Structure 1
Amino acid sequence: MARSWHILREEGALTLCRQRPPRFNVAVAADLPKADPLRLAHQIRQDMWRALQDVRGFSPVVRVAQTAEGVRVTAGGRVLGLVSPVLAERIEAVLEKPANRGRWLRHAARGQGADL
């Protein structure tokens, strides 16, 4: 049975999480050009999950907030138990990979009309 994702909207930001309230036991931020926030959050969540599915008790959380230059993405999530010091590095590698960024932005551009 598929569980739904919570989409929390506040002024200027969107948060995508599996469990409420969203919690960042580990988080990494990156700036990206303006794009559809929900499409972007889902794409980042998928890649982050693929990279971290071996982390026991990990539940992804992605927050996309408007900035003057585009959007600030905070990716990470909830971790049951101890947070490994390399976990943030693994998330950063997902966020900084040029192929990921290009794919995310192409996908998110299709829904360019959406705002936060």
Structure 2
Amino acid sequence: MSRTEWHILREDGALTLARRLPVRFDLSVEAVLPRCGKQRLAVQVRQDMWRLLQRLPGFSPVVRVEEVGQGLRVIAGGQVARKPFPKAECEAKLREMLTDGKNRSRWVAYGRRVCYE
């Protein structure tokens, strides 16, 4: 698989963006965001998550976006090949990233853009 290939799994109101299959969450954090484009949202969250955790050996990001009520539940995390790893510390960083108001505004704005490509 080349470095640019990602698996996009679609199922009943949900989208999962993953580097590897099968999808595995060794660490994960959830947040609810306003409705917008699921794939565009997942890509943005994945990019920021990678920037945050790219130095974690064996980390492979996964983002799942599910429809819930009037919003979207985002589950950000992924697989970690090397064990043990600082799970609590990594999840605290992810939680901070997902609750940051500037990130959330940027992600939703990007997710709401219309693509004419």
**TM-score, normalized by length of structure 2?**
0.91
Q: Alignment partner for residue 93 of structure 2, among 90, 94, 113? A: 90
Alignment-derived partner of residue 57 in structure 2: 56
Q: 1:19 aligns to what SS in structure 2?
A: coil
Alignment-derived partner of residue 45 in structure 2: 44
Q: Which deviations, in whole Å up to 9, do the C-alpha atoms of 1:26-78 show, x marking residues without a partner?
A: 00000000010000000000000001111111110000000112100000000
Alignment-derived partner of residue 23 in structure 2: 22
| 5+ long unaligned stretches in structure 2 | none
Q: Which deviations, in whole Å up to 9, do the C-alpha atoms of 1:73-108 show, x marking residues without a partner?
A: 000000112231211001111111111111101100
Look up the equivalent residue of 1:68 and give its one-letter code: G
CA distance in 1, matches of 2:10, 2:36: 16
User: After the TM superposition, which parts of structure 1 deviate over 3 Å for at least 4 consecutive aligned residues?
Assistant: none
CA distance in 2, matches of 1:21, 1:111: 31
CA distance in 2, matches of 1:6, 1:22: 9
CA distance in 1, matches of 2:70, 2:95: 20
**TM-score, normalized by length of structure 1?**
0.92
Alignment-derived partner of residue 66 in structure 1: 67
Look up the equivalent residue of 1:90 and give its one-letter code: K
Partners of 1:26 and 1:88 within 8 A in 2:
yes
Alignment-derived partner of residue 108 in structure 1: 111
CA distance in 1, matches of 2:114, 2:49: 21
CA distance in 2, matches of 1:78, 1:37: 21
Alignment-derived partner of residue 12 in structure 2: 11
Higher RCO (C-alpha 8 Å, min separation 6): 1
